[in-house]
Chains A and B, each alone.
Chain A
Amino acid sequence: MFEHAIGEFSNKVKNVVERGAVRKFADAIGDSHPIFIDEEAGKASRYGENIAPPTFPRVFDYGEIPALNLPEKGLIHGEQTYHYERPLLVGEEIACYTQVKDYKEKTGKSGSMGILKLEGCGEDTDGNLIFRAEQVVIITEAVRKGMEA
């Protein structure tokens, strides 16, 4: 039901790697390490600044893909991959967008399901790609039926 959305992009959205958000996120994953949250440790590090944990891009706004009307409930997260050119620095501005890479429907023992592949990207203010976040989302038959009804 989302085949038509393959290749579609969202609008780009400006995000900031906010110090408070990084602190809260690091705490929520039980990883309040000085490299993430202590300003002095950040300055003294090879990065010259605090960095964000690798799964922090979960927090960013990636814009909307009009052709992709996902339900709010019932989605299953199957797989997640991050590729980085370098760690994210606290305070920097990142432009994020997302694209539908693929959509397929498969029939298995628990009925048919949709497999959606999304790729989020983050660029610095010079337009250099900093990270890609690939996500595989499984949409069960029950959820798809609910949407069509």
Chain B
Amino acid sequence: MSTLTTKQLGDTLASVTLPPVTRLDLIKYAGASGDYNPIHTIDKEAEKAGLPGIIAHGMWTMGNLAKLFTPYYEEGYIETYNIRFRGMVFLDDVITLQAEVKEQSEDKITFDVRARKETGEDVLRGEAVFAVYE
């Protein structure tokens, strides 16, 4: 099993490319999170808000991004997870999730994290601090 604690500065976690975003993804997230803002699920409401179509919840993408760290919960946990929402995700967009080590100390590893569209646009960017158990 690969471990996080052996990662070096500049090392990356295995990136994950999500299947194209579907309406059902967003309906499921609305139900699971309780965020029923209709710009995420109903075309007419998105248009009324001046959007070309429904957009993904920023928190859906942020939630997805955290899964890069899920295999490592025996080694530590995400202590800080900070994200700036920079761009919109539309239906059929293909998002790739990435993390790269940017800082290390004895008990913490800090990662640059991002969700990138196939156009190269970063729709989310931020940082995750992974606290390592002794």
Rounded to whole angstroms, the CA-CA distance of A147 and B37 in the bound complex is: 17
Whether, in the assembled complex, A4 has its beta carbon less than 8 Å from a beta carbon of chain B, the answer is no
Whether, in the assembled complex, A43 has its beta carbon less than 8 Å from a beta carbon of chain B, the answer is no
Chain B residues closer than 8 Å to A25, beta-carbon distance = 32-33, 63
Are A82 and B34 within 8 A (Cβ)? no
Are A81 and B82 within 8 A (Cβ)? yes
Chain B residues closer than 8 Å to A81, beta-carbon distance = 80-83
Query: What range describes how many residues of B lie at the interface?
Result: 35 or more
* Contact pick for B63, options A28, A33, A79, A83, CB 8 Å: A28
Chain B residues closer than 8 Å to A21, beta-carbon distance = 32
Nearest chain-B residue to A84 (Cβ)?
Answer: B79
Whether, in the assembled complex, B70 has its beta carbon less than 8 Å from a beta carbon of chain A, the answer is yes
Please indicate which of the listed interface residues B25, B31, B32, B38 has the most CB atoms of chain A within 10 Å of its own CB. B32
* Contact pick for B34, options A58, A74, A76, A79, CB 8 Å: A58
Chain A residues closer than 8 Å to B64, beta-carbon distance = 29-31
Binding site for B on A (CB under 8 A): 21, 24-25, 27-31, 33, 35-36, 45-47, 51, 53-55, 58-59, 72-84, 86-87
Closest 5 CB pairs of A and B: A29-B63, A28-B32, A31-B67, A81-B82, A55-B63
21 contacts between A and B (CB under 8 A): A21-B32, A24-B31, A24-B32, A25-B33, A27-B28, A28-B32, A28-B33, A29-B29, A29-B60, A33-B70, A35-B73, A46-B133, A53-B70, A58-B35, A72-B37, A73-B38, A75-B37, A79-B82, A80-B83, A80-B85, A83-B80
